[in-house]
């Protein structure tokens, strides 16, 4: 078995923003999965219920999201969470002082409903090149076009949530994010395209708290993984296994969490066997990370992953 990757190898990644922070409930929702080229569906709706049955969300996707889209979202979330960068935008539009017209338009684009209307959001501005660099992508026109397409897919995600016991439910809705871009002259010879993002208030609330209610994804660890399946597994395990803890998880349950099937999508036995094999192969990549132990046990339907996590 190959040796564990050391911290110096992980630090080669240009991650100025190492951790992406997300609301724990939203982190678990079925939004991203490995997608074969040319098989991205449009107009997809999914329903997810929290493990304690107190929350249910309906997610509408304009286009399905893959693991590269997940990379971009984690990059945006990590930047927004930076204390020297993210700007907290108050719920009352009348109190928005600077660039009011732009921020009000971006907030309106989130299409906040009901309880979400009274919540704060986070906004920040970056450049086209910083986004691509932070993801480890080239500055080519092809990379830029992919990023624009991915941002359209991400901004086309809609959440409608019911929370609380019967008779006392509260309802609220919002889009995942909104964004705009404009060219700015930074010097006589340099014109830079700037992107401004507006983060939905539920994710923003998780970024603003110091303890509880959020999940951290280590982007340096993630970037060292080669396969999309391994990145998807790392994302799932980051929400399922707390730092400095150990869990045994059913491989079939993890397969469903990563390649979740839509209601009308039949998963054939051969497909499930192939997914088990992919997931166990992905676990070997996770096991090479310094802060993780991820070992497969058993076979077939009885397959388990023994997952031990160090610090975040």
Q: Which fold would CATH assign to domain 225-312?
A: Arc Repressor Mutant, subunit A (1.10.10)
- Residue-level pLDDT at 11: 46
Of 101-105, 181-185, 279-283, which one has max mean pLDDT? Answer: 279-283
- Assign residue 50 a region: left if phi > 0, alpha if psi is -120 to 50, beta otherwise? beta
- Residue-level pLDDT at 92: 66
- Asked whether residue 13 carries a pLDDT value surpassing 60, the answer given is no
- Residue-level pLDDT at 84: 77
Name the token pair of 169. Answer: 């439910």
Name the token pair of 3. Answer: 């040796």
Name the token pair of 277. Answer: 């094999």
- Residue-level pLDDT at 96: 61
**Distance (Å, whole) CA 26 – CA 159:** 9
Instruction: Name the helix (H) or strand (E) containing 27.
Output: helix 24-28
Instruction: Name the helix (H) or strand (E) containing 177.
Output: strand 177-185
Q: Dump pLDDT digits (tens) for 134-185.
A: 998 988 999 999 999 999 999 999 999 999 988 889 999 999 999 999 887 7
Q: What percent of the chain stands above pLDDT 70?
A: 88
**Distance (Å, whole) CA 93 – CA 196:** 17
- Torsion, CA 208, CA 210, CA 213, CA 215, rounded to 10: 90
The whole-chain average pLDDT of the chain stands at 88
Within 10 angstroms of residue 266's Cβ, the number of other Cβ atoms is 7
Question: Could you tell me which residue, 260 or 90, shows the higher pLDDT?
Answer: 260
**Distance (Å, whole) CA 123 – CA 179:** 9
Q: Are 247 and 102 in contact (CB under 8 A)?
A: no
User: Nearest Cα to 23, choosing from 207, 222, 164, 235?
Assistant: 207
**Distance (Å, whole) CA 191 – CA 114:** 40
Q: What's the average model confidence in pLDDT over 278-289?
A: 97
- Residues with Cβ within 8 Å of 153's Cβ and at least 6 positions away in sequence, in order, are 61, 62, 63, 64, 65, 69
pTM of the shown model: 0.90
Stretch(es) of the chain classified as CATH 1.10.10: 225-312
The dihedrals phi and psi of 106, each to the nearest 5 degrees, come to: -70, -40
- Asked whether residue 3 carries a pLDDT value surpassing 70, the answer given is no
- Residue-level pLDDT at 39: 82
- Asked whether residue 94 carries a pLDDT value surpassing 70, the answer given is no
**Distance (Å, whole) CA 215 – CA 242:** 9
């Amino acid at each position: 078995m190959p040796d564990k990757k050391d911290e110096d190898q992980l630090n080669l990644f240009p991650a100025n923003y190492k951790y992406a922070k997300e609301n724990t409930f939203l982190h678990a929702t079925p939004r991203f999965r490995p997608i074969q080229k040319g098989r991205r569906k449009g107009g997809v709706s999914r329903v997810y219920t929290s493990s304690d049955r107190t929350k249910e969300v309906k997610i509408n996707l304009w286009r399905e999201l893959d693991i590269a889209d997940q990379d971009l979202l984690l990059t945006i979330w990590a930047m927004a969470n930076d204390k020297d960068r993210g700007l907290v935008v108050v719920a009352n539009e009348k109190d928005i002082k600077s660039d009011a017209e732009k921020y009000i338009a971006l907030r309106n684009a989130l299409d906040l409903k009901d309880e979400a209307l009274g919540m704060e959001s986070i906004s920040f501005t970056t450049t086209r090149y910083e986004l691509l660099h932070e993801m480890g992508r080239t500055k080519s026109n092809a990379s830029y076009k992919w990023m624009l397409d991915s941002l359209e897919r991400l901004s086309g995600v809609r959440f409608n949530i019911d929370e609380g016991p019967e008779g006392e439910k509260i309802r609220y809705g919002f889009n995942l994010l909104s964004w705009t871009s404009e060219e700015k002259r930074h010097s006589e010879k340099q014109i830079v395209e700037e992107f401004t993002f507006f983060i939905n208030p539920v994710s923003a609330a998780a970024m603003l708290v110091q303890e509880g209610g959020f999940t951290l994804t280590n982007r340096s660890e993630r970037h060292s993984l080669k396969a999309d399946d391994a990145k998807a597994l790392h994302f799932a395990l980051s929400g399922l296994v707390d730092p400095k803890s150990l869990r045994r998880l059913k491989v079939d349950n993890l397969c469903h969490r990563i390649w979740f099937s839509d209601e009308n999508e039949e998963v054939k036995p051969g497909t499930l066997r192939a997914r088990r094999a992919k997931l166990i192969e992905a676990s070997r990549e996770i096991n090479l990370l310094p802060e993780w132990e991820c070992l497969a046990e058993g076979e077939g339907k009885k397959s388990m992953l023994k997952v031990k996590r160090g610090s975040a």
